[in-house]
Structure 1
Amino acid sequence: MPDRDPRRGDGDDYDWLYGPGDDATQVVGAPSSQPYGGAAPYGSPYQQQPPGPPPQRPSDLPPMQFPEQGRPARATRSSGGGGWRRRWLRPRRIIPLLLVAWLVFLIAVPFWAWGKIDKVDATPEGERPADQPGTTYLLVGSDSREGLTAAQRKELATGDAEGRRTDTIMLMHTGSGPTTLVSIPRDSIVPIPGHGRTKINAAYAYGGPKLLVETLENTTGLRIDDYVEIGFGGFVNMVDAVGGVEICPKTKIKDKDAGINLKKGCQEVDGATALGYARSRHTYATQDLQRVQSQREVLGAIAGEVKSPSTFLNPFRYAGVVSSATDSLRIGDNVGPLSLGRFAWNLSAAMGGSGHNCTVPIADASVRWDKERALELFGYLKADQADKITKAVCTKDGLPAS
C-alpha cells in the first residue's frame, strides 16, 4: 500500500479540500452542498482575498452627513454678513437694555446728588413731645445768600444780609389720612425759649434749626421728625431747571424790595421772578397772610412741573432738577434718602390738591393765633386723624371761613 499523505488523514474527509488527485495543492471554493451555495460570504475565511490591503467594511466607514432640510445655515462671525451683530441689534434686545440703562440713570442721579446735601443737627435737647403716629416734617425756606455772587444778589434783590432767617415756615404731616401742609406766618408772635414772646422767625436767628424746632414743638404739641431747609439759590435754580412756572397774581404787583413788576393774571415766570413773588408782601393789605399763600402757590407750580413725564424722559432736565434741588438744601442729620424721597412725593401730593393745604388758624390780620381752632387742628395731626380736618380749622389764609 502506498504511503498516505499525512495531510489527508485516514479517510476521504478532506477530499473536498485537496481534490481527488494526490497532487492537488490549491484551495478551491466550497462545493454547492455547502450552506453558502458555493460562494463564501463576504469576510469568510474561505473566500479568496485579492492582493493589497483588505477592503473597508461598512461598519468601519464614518457616518454620512446630510444637511438638515428646511433649516438655514447659522450665521457666524466669519460669514461676512455680520449676523451676530444683527442679532444683538434687534429691537427685542435693544429695548430691554435701554430700559435697564434708563432705570439705572434715574436711580444713580439722586444718589450722586445726595453727597452734595448739607446735614445739620436739628434735634433739640431736653424734654420733647412723645412719639406720635405718622411723620411730621418741618420745611424751612431760608434767606441764606450762600453761593450767590454779588451780581446774583443784585438780580434777585436779596440784599447783602449775612446769616440765615426764615422767610418760609411750613409743617407737613403724613400718615393714615390726607397729607396736610400748614403754613406758619413768620410774623406769628410765640414764646421762644430763653427769649420771651416775639416773632417766630427770630427763633432761627437766635438758635438755628434746633431752637426753631423746639419753639414749634412747644407751641403746637407736635413732635417734629424730619427737618428740610432750602435757600434762595436752590429755589431759583429749581424753577429754571423745569423751564419756569406759572403764577396767577390776583392784582398787579410792583415791589421794589422783591425786585418784581407783575401784571394781573396767569403768566410764565423764571426763577428770579418766582422768588420775588414768593417773598413779596408790602403790596398786600394782609401782607404776611398773602405771602404764605403765594409761597404755597409757587411750591405747587414747581411740584407740578417736577413730577411731569417730561422731567423723567428728558435726561438733561432730570439731572438739572435733582442737582438744583440739592445745591442749596440742608436736612437734619437723621434724614435718610428714603425719608427725603417720601417728603418730596408727599409735598407734591399736598400741593396737587389731594391733601389739606392751609395756614395756621389766626384770629385776625395781626397774625395772632386763634387758640381754640389751632389746638383742634394740631390735635388731629397729633392723633394722625387728618381725615377729620374740616374747613372750619383749615383755610388758605388762616382766617375763619366766612
Structure 2
Amino acid sequence: MPERPPRRDDARPIPQRGGPARPNPDEDVEDDVFTVDTRGRRPGRTSRPARSARGERSQRPERPIPPTRRPDPRRQPPPGGRRPVAEPLEDQQPRPRRRRRWWRLVPLVLLLWLAFLVATPLHAWSTVSRVDAAPAGSRPAQTPGDTYLLVGSDARDDLTAAERKELGTGSADGRRTDSIMLIHVPSGGGKSAIISIPRDSYMPIPGHGSNKVNAAYSIGGPQLLVETLEQVTDLRIDGYLEIGFGGFASVVNSLGGVDICVPFTMKDKFAHINLKKGCQTLDGKNALGFVRARHSDPRGDIGRAERQRQFLGAIMKGAATPSTVLNPFRYWSFTHTAAQAVGVGKDTSLKDAANILLAMRGASNDSTLSLTVPLQDLGYRTRAGLAVKWDSERAKALFTMLREDQPLEAPPAGTDGKPSGG
C-alpha cells in the first residue's frame, strides 16, 4: 500500500464553514471561475459578483442595496435572550364586561313623565277664564258634601259666521242654557251623582216672578241662575263651570273624536246631524249636534239631558285613555283646549274642578249615578208657555238626601226621567 505523501506547507487549506474559500495564487487553477458559498450570507445583503482569475468582475448588473431599517424595540428580545412565555388560557382571568347602565335612567324618565302629567293641567288651569257666579243674596248653609253647577251655554258671541254655519248653531242673540246639571260629590261613602235639570223647569226666579229656569240665565247670567237653584233646592252650590258651543266642539276634536253609542237613528236638520244607530266615533260637529238634538228624540228635552250625561262620561273616558295620557302632544292639546273652552266661577278651586271631572268620568262606568230631577208633568201650562213641572215631594226628598250627605248606591225613586202624573 503506497504511503500517503506528506502534506506540503503550502497545501490548500480546507475551506471553513460560513465563508467562501479563497484561492491560492501559487496553485494552478483548472478553471478561471470559482463558486461562491452564500450559506453564511446575512439577510438583506447581496453577495459580491464572482471574480475571475484575472480579477475582472462579471458583467452582471449590481442589485441596489435596500436601506437599512432600524430595529423595532418592541420586537427585540428582552434582556437574557428569552421572551416570556404566555400563561395558559385556562389560567388567565377573563376581563369583566362593561355593563350598560341605561336602566339607571328609567327612574329619572318616570319622574320627569310624572312631573309632566302634573304640571300640564296646572299650567292649563292658570289660563282659564273666570266668571262671577256668586249670588248677591242670602245663601244656604254649607253641607258636608260638595255640590257643583255645570252649565252648557248656547252663547254664540265667540263664534264666527263660518263656525256658526259649520256647527249649525244659528244666529240667535242672547245667552241661554242648553243643559243644566247639578253634580254632587259626597264627603263620605256612596256614589257621586249627576242630576239633570230640564231647562224648561218652571220655578220662581228671585225678583222676576215664576218662569222657566232658562230665563234666569238669560236675565241675570250665572249669578241669578245659581241664586235660583239654591233657593229651590236649598243646596249650597260650591263651584261653577260653564262650556259653550265652540268650546265643546274643540274639546272633542282635541281628542281625535269621541266614541259613543247612538241609541237610535238621528236625523235632525235643526242640529245639523244625520247619525245612524250604533257605536261610532263622533267629531266635534256631530258630537255637538248629538247633545243638542231634541226634535229627533221622542222624549224631547228629557232624552237630550240623558244623552248629555252619556256624552260627558264618554269625553272623560276618552281623556283618560293611554292614547291621550301617553301622547304628550294630545295630552297638552286636550288640557289646554278644555281650559280655553270653559269658564269657571271665581270661587271655584282646582280641587273643585277635579271633583267635577272625576264625577263626569264615573258616568261611563256606573261609579257615578246619572239622574234626572223627579218630574210630574212635561206639558205643564204656564203664562210662559208649556213647561216642565217637578214632582215636589220626590224632588224635596232627593235634595234632602244630598244636603244631609246620605250615601247613594242606587237612583232614588222618580229620578229616571219619567213623569209621575199627567
TM over 0.5: yes
Looking at structure 1, the residues matched to 398 and 275 of structure 2 have their Cα atoms a distance apart, in angstroms, of 35
Q: Greater shift after overlay, 248-257 or 325-334?
A: 248-257
Which residue pairs with 2:22 in the alignment? none
Sequence identity (%): 50
The one of 240, 256, 273 aligned to 1:260 = 273
Residue 232 in structure 1 maps to residue 255 in structure 2: no
Which residue pairs with 2:150 in the alignment? 139
- Counterpart contact for 1:252–1:262, Cα < 8 Å: yes
Which residue pairs with 1:124 in the alignment? 135
TM-score w.r.t. the length of structure 1 is 0.75
Mark the CA change 1:400 to 1:355 in structure 2 (over 3 Å): closer, same or farther. farther
State the 1:352 CA deviation.
2.6
Looking at structure 2, the residues matched to 238 and 400 of structure 1 have their Cα atoms a distance apart, in angstroms, of 37
- Counterpart contact for 1:356–1:394, Cα < 8 Å: no
Looking at structure 2, the residues matched to 237 and 190 of structure 1 have their Cα atoms a distance apart, in angstroms, of 33
Looking at structure 1, the residues matched to 272 and 210 of structure 2 have their Cα atoms a distance apart, in angstroms, of 32
Taking the TM superposition and a 5 Å limit, the aligned residue runs for 1:318-357 are 318-357=331-370
Amino acid paired to 2:269: K
RMSD value, Cα: 2.2
- Counterpart contact for 2:251–2:341, Cα < 8 Å: no
State the 1:71 CA deviation.
11
**C-alpha distance after superposition, 1:213-235 (max 9, x if no partner):** 00001111111111111111221
State the 1:390 CA deviation.
4.2
TM-score w.r.t. the length of structure 2 is 0.71
Looking at structure 2, the residues matched to 247 and 183 of structure 1 have their Cα atoms a distance apart, in angstroms, of 19
Looking at structure 2, the residues matched to 212 and 187 of structure 1 have their Cα atoms a distance apart, in angstroms, of 13
Taking the TM superposition and a 5 Å limit, the aligned residue runs for 1:100-179 are 100-175=111-186, 176=188, 177-179=190-192
Mark the CA change 1:218 to 1:96 in structure 2 (over 3 Å): closer, same or farther. same
Looking at structure 2, the residues matched to 383 and 124 of structure 1 have their Cα atoms a distance apart, in angstroms, of 23
Mark the CA change 1:284 to 1:346 in structure 2 (over 3 Å): closer, same or farther. closer
What is the SS of the residue equivalent to 1:138? strand
State the 1:104 CA deviation.
1.8
Which residue pairs with 2:71 in the alignment? none
Residue 186 in structure 1 maps to residue 199 in structure 2: yes
State the 1:264 CA deviation.
2.2
What is the SS of the residue equivalent to 2:199? coil
State the 1:398 CA deviation.
4.5
**C-alpha distance after superposition, 1:329-368 (max 9, x if no partner):** 1111111222212221222123431121111110133221
Mark the CA change 1:70 to 1:116 in structure 2 (over 3 Å): closer, same or farther. same
Looking at structure 2, the residues matched to 72 and 400 of structure 1 have their Cα atoms a distance apart, in angstroms, of 86
Looking at structure 2, the residues matched to 70 and 333 of structure 1 have their Cα atoms a distance apart, in angstroms, of 73
- Counterpart contact for 1:392–1:400, Cα < 8 Å: no
- Counterpart contact for 1:311–1:317, Cα < 8 Å: yes
State the 1:146 CA deviation.
4.1
Residue 376 in structure 1 maps to residue 397 in structure 2: yes
Taking the TM superposition and a 5 Å limit, the aligned residue runs for 1:1-400 are 90-175=101-186, 176=188, 177-366=190-379, 367-387=388-408, 390-395=411-416, 397-400=417-420
Mark the runs of 5 or more structure 2 residues left unpaired by the alignment: 1-91, 380-387
Looking at structure 1, the residues matched to 93 and 220 of structure 2 have their Cα atoms a distance apart, in angstroms, of 84
- Counterpart contact for 1:181–1:357, Cα < 8 Å: yes
Looking at structure 1, the residues matched to 248 and 365 of structure 2 have their Cα atoms a distance apart, in angstroms, of 19
What is the SS of the residue equivalent to 2:225? helix
Count of aligned residue pairs for this structure pair:
320
Mark the CA change 1:274 to 1:181 in structure 2 (over 3 Å): closer, same or farther. same
Looking at structure 2, the residues matched to 107 and 151 of structure 1 have their Cα atoms a distance apart, in angstroms, of 36
- Counterpart contact for 1:190–1:198, Cα < 8 Å: yes
Looking at structure 1, the residues matched to 172 and 325 of structure 2 have their Cα atoms a distance apart, in angstroms, of 37
Amino acid paired to 1:374: A
Mark the CA change 1:199 to 1:351 in structure 2 (over 3 Å): closer, same or farther. farther
- Counterpart contact for 2:250–2:341, Cα < 8 Å: no
Larger radius of gyration: 2
Amino acid paired to 1:254: K
Mark the runs of 5 or more structure 1 residues left unpaired by the alignment: 1-68, 75-82
Looking at structure 1, the residues matched to 409 and 290 of structure 2 have their Cα atoms a distance apart, in angstroms, of 33
Looking at structure 1, the residues matched to 123 and 164 of structure 2 have their Cα atoms a distance apart, in angstroms, of 28
**C-alpha distance after superposition, 1:125-161 (max 9, x if no partner):** 2211111111000000111224322211110011223
